[in-house]
Amino acid sequence: MTGPTSGDEPRRPRRPAMLDPQQADAIPGDLSPALRDEVAHTTAQALVRRGRAQPDPDVVARLVALVEHEGLDVVAGLWADSQPDTLPGALWRLYVLREWVRRDPVTIADRYRAGVAAAPVHGVVAGVADTPGPEDVRAVADAVLSGVYAGDLAVALERAAAFCQVLATGAAFDADHLDLVDPRGALRMTRGAASLVRTAEELTHAAALWRAERLD
């Protein structure tokens, strides 16, 4: 979120274009923790309802590309502080994953290929090609988010979780190879792999909550 301007009134943040106008108008520039949480849940629920109520391909495509249209900082301002067992927290993790893939598809494809042999079950769930290239991993990231708005949301979360598990395995292999020449880099990569495993666990739990109608 942006801070106050030089004047008396705080600057209003940009809002996702697909947010309901009345809800959007209710968002102030500076948010208390309680109001920030309320806004996170309201915006997440509004976007998911919009997409699932009207699964038009153009609408879904715009929702998938939300970060490109609104900026990662705006989406972060809405959802980044949300707990992983909430709808906004789950959406935030999916959008961050897609943005990572979008920005560095070559590395993602390399790590996926390295990890899938050791995690074949997760590879099947993720639904990525056996020897994926950059465009393949980008397509999967888009397909996962499309499933949030025009498919089974729990399955979309599980696909993202499996994708993260495979990437974590690939990152662990890379860390092992790097350990002798760059121990610090290997340590950072190991921590990154652990973070991906944690994200996978969080997304799997969120999928279970959605099926139980408890993800909100």
Token pair recorded at residue 78: 């809405």
Q: What pLDDT sits at residue 31?
A: 62
* Rounded distance between C-alpha atoms, residue 175 and residue 12, angstroms: 43
* Residue 121, pLDDT score: 77
Q: What is the pLDDT of residues 145-155, one digit of tens each?
A: 999 999 999 99
Does 21 score more than 70 pLDDT?
Answer: no
Q: Nearest Cα to 92, choosing from 112, 107, 74? A: 74
Q: Is the pLDDT of residue 144 over 70?
A: yes
Neighbours of 14 (CB within 10 A): 14
Provide the pLDDT confidence category of residue 25 given band limits of 50, 70 and 90.
very low
Instruction: Specify the 3-state DSSP secondary structure of 141.
Output: helix
Average predicted confidence (pLDDT) for the chain: 85
Helix (H, G, I), strand (E, B) or coil at 44: helix
The sign of the CA dihedral 114, 117, 121, 125 is positive
Q: Longest Cα pair distance anywhere in the chain, in angstroms?
A: 59
| Per-residue pLDDT at 27 exceeds 60 | no
* Amino acid letter, 82: S
Instruction: Write the pLDDT tens digit of every residue in 155-197.
Output: 999 999 999 999 999 999 989 888 889 999 999 999 999 999 9
Whether 15 has a pLDDT exceeding 80, the answer reads: no
**What is the tens place of the pLDDT at every residue in 97-106?**
999 999 999 9
Contacts of residue 99, Cβ cutoff 8 Å, sequence gap at least 6 = 67, 72
Extract the tokens encoding 163: 């994708």
In which band, very low, low, confident or very high, does the pLDDT at 39 lie, cut at 50, 70 and 90?
very high
At residue 118, the pLDDT reads 86
Identify the pLDDT of residue 30.
58
Mean of pLDDT values over 51-76: 91
